[in-house]
Amino acid sequence: MLNVWRPDYKFKFPISGTRNLKFQLAWLAEWEWLAYSKEEDGAYCLWCSLFPPSSGGRSRVGLGKLVHTKFSQWKNAKEEFRAHQNLQYHDDSRLKVAGFLSVACGKQDNVHMQLDTAQKRKVGFLKYSCVYITFPMDSFFPHRPKP
């Protein structure tokens, strides 16, 4: 989660569609949850991809786009990103990511450790795994740095 590949200013985003549009690097700074897959030339919500909602709500984009499948309709990108950010399930995913990182990075004990302080010697492993955390994100971020 902390090592997701991000394009930089040198990366040439492919142009697509009849209007010759492409993904804009500035969008990554504008939406912290946004991730770009160069293999698919598509955008994903990192948070909702890691902690997917159980249902899609009423988004025009639908649960598939940005979560289970890429979003690449660049013409409407900013509008769709804004709409996605306001979805309840996106906010739920944001809270799950924040909670997970808090535990994984050692800022907060998980429930079991809070109940049993004798388990605290395992915290070292959790802090270590925070740096090298891996998820099934390889399918669309195969070139992120590996530990």
CB of 90 to Zn ion, least distance (A): 4
Tokens of residue 51, six digits: 């902690």
CB of 56 to Zn ion, least distance (A): 11
Nearer to Zn ion, 92 or 109 (CB): 92
Q: Which distant-in-sequence residues (6+ apart) come within 8 Å of 103 by Cβ?
A: 109, 110, 126
CB of 65 to Zn ion, least distance (A): 11
Query: Which spans of this chain sit near Zn ion (rule: CB under 5 A)?
Result: 45, 47-48, 90
Nearer to Zn ion, 60 or 120 (CB): 60
Tokens of residue 8, six digits: 């930089």
Q: Which distant-in-sequence residues (6+ apart) come within 8 Å of 136 by Cβ?
A: none
Nearer to Zn ion, 47 or 74 (CB): 47
